[in-house]
């Protein structure tokens, strides 16, 4: 076993690797950028080395600096985690050339599976079924459009490099092919430095089912059963589970046999995942699945496999890379119970899952699970950490395990309802709604489920009177003593507050709320809210709610929903003139990738004006109303959340809008 390893990653996965390394007595070296100077993975590691500025191209993608850090600290091997350089064969070459060990597959294996088109040709030769489509080198638009017509619409344009839904577009009609191709190529180039694409038949009711495989340097390859990752938004996984619901013995055998065959075809060593697309339109059948791609690394969703097989896949990685054989044979790997993983992100589900930023002023996860279930939190952040625009906005992975799918799903819903995050917009309410969706609960899942149910899944009811009243009590406590999450005790001890009602002002979205809070002799609170906001008007609060104070705000938690109220500073001067009338603002930090209008243009509501790139994904910014453009951002401009992108001529009567 190694004495010391370097982890060429950050956040949750870096912390995950450190925990297993510590268990095995292996010392760890972290690397970090400017933005991660005080991050959790830096704190947890035995040593840490600064490798550059915050942008990934100047830090986490600098293989030369990472290798130099490993040599300088005496590390024997490098663990790549996932993302960044984890599937970069040139980086593997750098590691090996420096006399270090790469904790993962060989450069040759990564190259064989790194480009989707080449990988599919290889799989065809190995006898693994592949999706009908065009996987060739020629990239002329006329040829690709012709192939799309031959395949038959709808088709899926996919970047041949990378994954995560980037560079992927579904096309329903030939008239839309050119625009979709251009958009997919731009996104692929930005994310992977490669704009080559392939075109495939779009499966009407696709299930995304993948098989975890593991190989060693002695020629052994095993599988650790399957995971279902069909619950996706914008081609990105949301909730994963193991085993796949509705899986039949015949299909499981066919898929796992194909997965092992695929890994052996490239002499694979280390952790890998063979991803299949399954046609579920007529139920799960053994002849209706096709190879999509192989991820030559550890997957984000690997914990669900660990939970149902009782293994530590990171430990397996370290053992295999250090020259040991696989810890178990195929016959020794058993499947037990059911597990779910929910990815908690800083994102606004109601606004098309736009990534969010902010400081995590309050962060609390459930510590226990219902009887018969277990819970596991994988995170790389703590309360007080900031969600940076430079990296993926995942906050944590919430993982549960129970005896069967029904019990595990109940445990997932309960765990989400007890998760508290304040300071950034998060997706916990959406995850809870998905976990309670009737089709999802029944296992009737495919990759289009979220899209079909998106309005219902992302709609959050406004706060009720009791919630607003609780926020008013909490706001009142801020003026009595240092802010506390227990205003019940702080206000009850304030003698002067008993005789006179305290007036409090709150703001929820665009709503101004006035409240009058009184403490009764029995210690309960009487809250009167101005109508017409609340028809009940008066509320008698007897129990302290779950809430969090943070600068200028109060968040009240109702199940998985966090209602955030602004608490205006009565001494602060308001400047209504500061609001830019008739302007369109950036909904998130990003890069202005493409501008489609110019100063003086007359535009109509819904017309695309520019494309904003954030988190390596493209977001179309459209006109919120008819108008004439007075000013518009320039291509290549780096903007922050709230930056004015477009100003309209005031005579058009436009009002301020934020892109959605």
Residues classed as catalytic: 297
Which token pair is 541?
A: 């609060």
DSSP letter assigned to residue 281:
B
DSSP letter assigned to residue 372:
T
Residues 6+ apart with CB under 8 A from 624: 584, 605, 654, 657, 659
Residues 654 and 660: their CA atoms lie apart, in Å, by 16
Residues 6+ apart with CB under 8 A from 501: 516, 517, 518, 528
Angle, in degrees to the nearest 10, between helices 428-436 and 405-417: 150
Question: What is the distance, to the nearest Å, from the Cα of residue 54 to the centroid of all Cα atoms in its chain?
Answer: 20
Q: Which helix (H) or strand (E) holds 224?
A: strand 221-233
Closest CA relative to residue 168, chosen from 235, 121, 113: 235
Which token pair is 3?
A: 């004495």
Query: Max CA-CA distance within the chain?
Result: 84
Strands (E) located in 58-112: 77-79, 101-102
Sheet order of strands, 394-402 included: 289-295, 270-279, 206-215, 221-233, 236-242, 338-345, 394-402, 374-379
Backbone angles phi, psi at 465, to 5 degrees: -60, -40
Residues 321 and 622: their CA atoms lie apart, in Å, by 50
Residues 171 and 232: their CA atoms lie apart, in Å, by 18
Residues 519 and 493: their CA atoms lie apart, in Å, by 10
Closest CA relative to residue 214, chosen from 341, 336, 89, 109: 109
DSSP letter assigned to residue 283:
B
């Amino acid at each position: 076993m190694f004495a010391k390893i370097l982890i060429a990653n950050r956040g949750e996965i870096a912390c995950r690797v450190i925990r297993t390394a510590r268990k095995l007595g292996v010392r760890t070296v972290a690397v970090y950028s400017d933005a991660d100077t005080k991050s959790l993975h830096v704190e947890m590691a035995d040593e840490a080395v600064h490798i550059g500025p915050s942008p990934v191209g100047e830090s986490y993608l600098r293989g030369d600096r990472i290798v130099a850090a490993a040599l300088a600290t005496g590390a024997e091997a490098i663990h790549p985690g996932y993302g960044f350089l984890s599937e970069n064969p040139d980086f593997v070459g750098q590691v090996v050339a420096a006399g270090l060990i790469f904790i993962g597959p060989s450069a040759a294996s990564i190259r064989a599976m790194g480009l989707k088109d080449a990988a599919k040709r290889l799989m065809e030769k190995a006898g693994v079924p592949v999706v009908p489509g065009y996987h060739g080198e020629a990239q002329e638009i006329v040829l690709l459009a012709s192939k799309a017509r031959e395949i038959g619409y709808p088709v899926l344009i996919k970047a041949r490099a990378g994954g995560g839904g980037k560079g992927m577009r579904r096309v329903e009609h030939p008239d839309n092919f050119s625009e979709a191709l251009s958009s997919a190529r731009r996104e692929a180039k930005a994310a992977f430095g490669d704009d080559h694409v392939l075109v495939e038949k779009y499966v009407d009711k696709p299930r995304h089912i993948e098989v975890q495989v593991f190989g060693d340097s002695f020629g052994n390859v095993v599988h650790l059963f399957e995971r279902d990752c069909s619950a996706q938004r914008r081609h990105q996984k949301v909730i994963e589970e193991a085993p796949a619901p509705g899986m039949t013995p015949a299909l499981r055998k066919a898929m796992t046999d194909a997965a092992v065959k695929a890994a052996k075809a490239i002499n694979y060593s280390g952790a890998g995942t063979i991803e299949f697309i399954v046609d579920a339109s007529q139920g799960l059948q053994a002849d209706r699945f096709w190879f999509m791609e192989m991820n030559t690394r550890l997957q984000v969703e690997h914990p669900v496999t660990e939970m149902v097989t009782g293994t530590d896949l990171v430990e397996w990685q370290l053992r295999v890379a250090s020259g040991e054989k696989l810890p178990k044979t195929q016959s020794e790997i058993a499947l037990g119970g059911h597990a779910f993983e929910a990815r908690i992100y800083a994102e606004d589900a109601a606004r098309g899952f736009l990534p969010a930023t902010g400081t995590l002023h309050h962060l609390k996860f459930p510590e226990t699970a219902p009887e018969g279930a277990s819970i596991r939190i994988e995170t790389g952040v703590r309360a007080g950490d900031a969600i940076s625009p430079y990296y993926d906005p995942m906050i944590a992975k919430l993982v549960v395990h129970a005896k069967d799918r029904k019990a595990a799903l109940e445990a997932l819903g309960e765990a989400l309802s007890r998760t508290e995050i304040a300071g950034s917009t998060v997706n916990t309410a959406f995850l809870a709604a998905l976990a309670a969706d009737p089709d999802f609960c029944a296992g009737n899942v495919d990759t289009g489920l979220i899209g079909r149910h998106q309005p219902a899944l992302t709609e959050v009811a406004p706060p009720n009177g009791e919630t607003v009243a609780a926020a008013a009590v909490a706001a009142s406590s801020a003026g009595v003593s240092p802010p506390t999450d227990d205003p019940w005790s702080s206000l009850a001890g304030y003698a002067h507050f008993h005789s006179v009602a305290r007036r409090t002002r709150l703001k929820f979205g665009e709503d101004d709320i006035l409240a009058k809070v009184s403490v009764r002799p029995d210690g309960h609170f009487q809250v009167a809210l101005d109508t017409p906001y609340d028809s009940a008007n008066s509320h008698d609060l007897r129990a302290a709610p779950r809430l969090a104070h943070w600068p200028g705000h109060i968040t009240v938690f109702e199940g998985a929903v966090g209602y955030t109220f602004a608490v205006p500073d009565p001494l602060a001067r308001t400047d209504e003139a500061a609001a830019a009338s008739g302007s369109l603002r950036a909904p998130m930090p990003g890069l202005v990738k493409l501008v489609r209008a110019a100063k003086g243009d007359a535009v109509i509501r819904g017309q695309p004006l520019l494309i904003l790139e954030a988190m390596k994904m493209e977001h179309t910014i459209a006109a919120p109303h008819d108008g004439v453009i007075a000013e518009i951002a320039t291509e290549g401009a780096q903007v922050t959340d709230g930056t004015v992108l477009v100003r309209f001529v005031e005579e058009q009567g436009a009002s301020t809008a934020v892109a959605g």
